[in-house]
């Protein structure tokens, strides 16, 4: 514990000691489960100024702000002076001496963070079940059961009748007049009805429509240059929900300031966006942030830091058997098509592992063509994929969606914020493009821009954010699966045409049975762990195998120069890599290479036959 005298002495080094203490404590694999999560526990059950964690994506980065790192307060009765620290706080103590020579102005960065977009329900459920903190034992607001009428009546009473003077926070205006004493608002984190209602009117800027959960203003005090837009983090910090923050938001007075002299330069629109009510957008003062290499709670991140391949060496031997079970399950889902199920597994474990100039290596966008249009097949297929991957989003490519949805984030210079778009996603998110919803009609300017953005995402794994006068390129790592009737209008790395081997008389019942009665929970967890683990394995090719592969390519070209192009050979190498990883192998073997050649031959033959059928039916 850090003594009070040390906290009030900025030169004592207590800040570094506190951060080091928490970092060391949180290295324990079980320690983080003891810290309540903003993702799982309702905000009004969390104790203000306590340690919490938040699993999130950095959606926007605001301009740096200045705050009082150290300041002096003067007791009005005794004239005693106390040097206080303003770090990890939003609001000063009462009695600030604005003319003190001991005042230290410091700088911090603010990130606008949202829950990880598209995080699937099973991830939330498992994360919640792993936590050892439950809402009922965390914090119960003392006024939780009061009616709103009583709540309003109490607001008219002097503040001193409801709260002690000691430690009371005040909101300071730029002219030095405090909003304190009788004007201070409630200290509980429970939002009054008016604020709850206003949540629907406050744009929380979630990238995906229909998303729920808290967003946070995360205050960063050090190494903020190490964070990038769209990073996924688990932030540990001090929760701040001071009512003074809401008072400031309600005032809309450009001259008011909260430990930040620069805020007086903000417009009313900037003030609304950058200082929303704390009951809706709490502040989180970062002590420590852990990058999330993945979002699967079944696979601990610590294992990846210790080299996942060696950590799970015993499990890797069983990966082949889990793969066999998953292949059988997906074959059933894909109406008995085992070849399509093979390629779906390869797609689900693909990931961009490096970039060579502008070319992303490791991506494997799959186009499953020939999808039935009856019984909402593609929707059912997506629901099953949802059960397997941590984050996903289904984009129905209807004419209305293409012409109306905002896919690319855009800078709003009036509010000075980045307005989110549906393509602002976390790494390794599964994006399911449902092309079976296409219909005849005219794409407008927005529609053309959206189709172009999807094509760039697939080909280059990048999204060009719109900054009005220019575009800024942001690299990404998103798994794109395209479901279509014929060959997709969008580019893809691989197309496999679905050939159903079963024709159930009641397609709706068949698909409902798969979705409503999936594998047992333990079996699904095995599939989920398998897919995440396969994606993290390292991969290499020995010199001996490299030579054999090159000779094989020369032989194939010698027999028939038209049989395989450089593009086909590149795809074959990607398939061989993913096939090896799907079997838990971290290097390419001769058997895996031959198997990759075999399934590629089957796929290409099927695609050519389908193309001949299409051409034969054309007038």
Using one digit for the tens of pLDDT, what is the confidence trace for 267-280? 888 888 888 999 89
Using one digit for the tens of pLDDT, what is the confidence trace for 415-444? 999 999 999 999 999 999 999 998 889 999
Query: Both 340 and 469 in a single domain?
Result: yes
Tokens of residue 406, six digits: 């905002």
* Mean pLDDT lowest among 172-181, 322-331, 579-588: 172-181
On the question of pLDDT at 239 being above 50, the answer is yes
Beta partners for 217?
112, 283
Tokens of residue 345, six digits: 């597994």
On the question of pLDDT at 410 being above 70, the answer is yes
Query: Both 499 and 432 in a single domain?
Result: yes
Query: Both 224 and 327 in a single domain?
Result: no
Is 545 inside any structural domain?
yes
CA–CA dist 76, 170 (Å, integer):
15
SS3 for 475-509, per residue? ECCCEEEEECCCCCCCCCCEEEECCCCCCCCCHHH
CB 480 within 8 A of CB 431: yes
Higher model confidence: residue 42 or residue 521?
Answer: 42
Using one digit for the tens of pLDDT, what is the confidence trace for 57-86? 999 999 999 999 999 999 988 989 999 888
Is 182 inside any structural domain?
no
On the question of pLDDT at 493 being above 60, the answer is yes
DSSP 294: -
Query: Both 225 and 88 in a single domain?
Result: yes
Query: Both 25 and 122 in a single domain?
Result: yes
SS3 for 520-532, per residue? CHHHHHHHHHHHH
Q: How confident is the model at residue 226 (pLDDT cuts 50, 70, 90)?
A: very high
Tally of domains in the chain? 3
Query: Both 532 and 545 in a single domain?
Result: no
Look-up: residue for tokens 């060009």? 464
Is 563 inside any structural domain?
yes
Please tell me the pTM assigned to this model: 0.85
Residue 485, pLDDT score: 94
On the question of pLDDT at 509 being above 90, the answer is no
Query: Both 567 and 531 in a single domain?
Result: no
> Within 13 Å of residue 50, how many CA atoms lie on the same side as its CB?
15
Query: Both 456 and 587 in a single domain?
Result: no
Look-up: residue for tokens 């799982």? 40
CA–CA dist 118, 423 (Å, integer):
11
Residue 348, pLDDT score: 98
Is 110 inside any structural domain?
yes
Q: How confident is the model at residue 557 (pLDDT cuts 50, 70, 90)?
A: confident
Domain range enclosing 595 = 538-618
CA–CA dist 465, 486 (Å, integer):
31
Q: CATH number of the domain that 507 lies in?
A: 3.40.50.300
Nearest-5° Cα angle at 515, 510 to 518? 110
On the question of pLDDT at 360 being above 60, the answer is yes
- Name which of 284, 265, 80 is nearest 174 in CA terms: 265
Residue 18, pLDDT score: 79
């Amino acid at each position: 514990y850090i003594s009070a005298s040390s906290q009030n002495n900025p030169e004592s080094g207590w800040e570094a000691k506190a951060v080091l203490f928490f970092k060391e404590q949180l290295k324990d694999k079980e320690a983080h489960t003891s810290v309540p999560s903003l993702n799982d526990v309702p905000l009004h059950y969390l104790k203000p100024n306590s340690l919490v964690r938040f699993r999130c994506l950095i959606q926007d980065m605001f301009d740096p702000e200045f705050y009082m790192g150290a300041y002096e307060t003067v007791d009005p009765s005794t004239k005693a002076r106390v040097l206080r620290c303003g770090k990890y706080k939003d609001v000063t103590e009462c009695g600030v001496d604005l003319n003190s020579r001991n005042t230290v102005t410091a700088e911090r960065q603010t990130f606008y963070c949202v829950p990880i977009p598209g995080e699937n329900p099973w991830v939330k459920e498992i994360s919640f079940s792993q936590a050892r903190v439950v809402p009922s034992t965390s914090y119960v607001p003392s006024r939780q059961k009061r009616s709103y009428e009583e709540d309003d009546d109490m607001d008219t009473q002097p503040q001193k009748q409801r709260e002690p003077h000691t430690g009371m926070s005040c909101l300071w205006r730029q002219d030095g007049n405090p909003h304190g004493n009788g004007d201070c608002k409630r200290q509980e984190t429970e939002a009054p009805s008016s604020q709850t209602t206003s949540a629907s009117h406050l744009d929380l800027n979630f990238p995906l429509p229909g998303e729920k959960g808290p967003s946070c203003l995360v205050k960063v005090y050090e190494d903020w240059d190490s964070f990038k837009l769209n990073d996924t983090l688990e932030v540990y910090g001090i929760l701040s929900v001071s009512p003074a923050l809401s008072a400031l938001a309600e005032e809309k007075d450009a001259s008011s300031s909260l430990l930040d002299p620069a805020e007086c330069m903000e417009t009313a629109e900037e003030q609304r966006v950058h200082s929303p009510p704390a009951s809706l957008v709490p502040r989180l003062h970062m002590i420590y942030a852990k990058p999330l290499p993945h979002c699967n709670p079944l696979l601990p991140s610590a294992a990846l830091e210790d080299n996942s391949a060696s950590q799970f060496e015993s499990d890797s031997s069983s990966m082949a058997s889990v793969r066999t079970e998953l292949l059988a399950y997906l074959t059933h889902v894909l109406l008995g098509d085992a070849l399509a199920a093979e390629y779906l597994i390869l797609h689900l474990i693909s990931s961009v592992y490096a970039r060579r100039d502008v070319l992303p290596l490791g991506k494997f966008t799959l186009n499953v063509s020939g999808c039935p249009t009856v019984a909402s097949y593609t929707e059912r297929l997506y629901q099953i994929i949802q059960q397997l991957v941590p984050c996903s989003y289904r984009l129905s490519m209807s004419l209305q969606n293409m012409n109306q949805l905002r896919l690319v984030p855009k800078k709003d210079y009036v509010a000075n914020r980045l307005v989110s778009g549906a393509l602002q996603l976390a790494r390794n998110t599964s994006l399911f493009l449902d092309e079976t919803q296409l219909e005849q009609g005219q794409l407008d300017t927005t529609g053309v821009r959206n189709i172009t953005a999807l094509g760039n995402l697939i080909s280059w794994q990048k999204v060009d954010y719109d900054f009005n006068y220019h575009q800024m390129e942001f690299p990404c790592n998103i798994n794109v699966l395209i479901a279509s009737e014929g060959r997709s209008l969008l580019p893809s790395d691989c197309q496999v045409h679905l050939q159903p081997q079963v024709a159930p008389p009641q397609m709706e019942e068949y698909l409902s049975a798969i979705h409503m009665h999936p594998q047992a929970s333990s079996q699904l967890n095995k599939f989920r762990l398998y897919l995440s683990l396969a994606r993290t394995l390292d991969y290499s090719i020995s010199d001996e195998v490299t030579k054999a592969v090159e000779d094989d390519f020369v032989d194939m070209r010698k027999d028939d120069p038209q049989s395989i192009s450089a593009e086909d050979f590149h795809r074959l190498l990607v398939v061989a890599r993913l096939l090896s990883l799907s079997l838990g192998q971290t290097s390419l073997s001769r058997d895996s290479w031959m198997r990759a050649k075999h399934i590629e031959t089957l796929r290409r033959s099927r695609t050519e036959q389908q193309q001949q059928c299409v051409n034969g039916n054309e007038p």
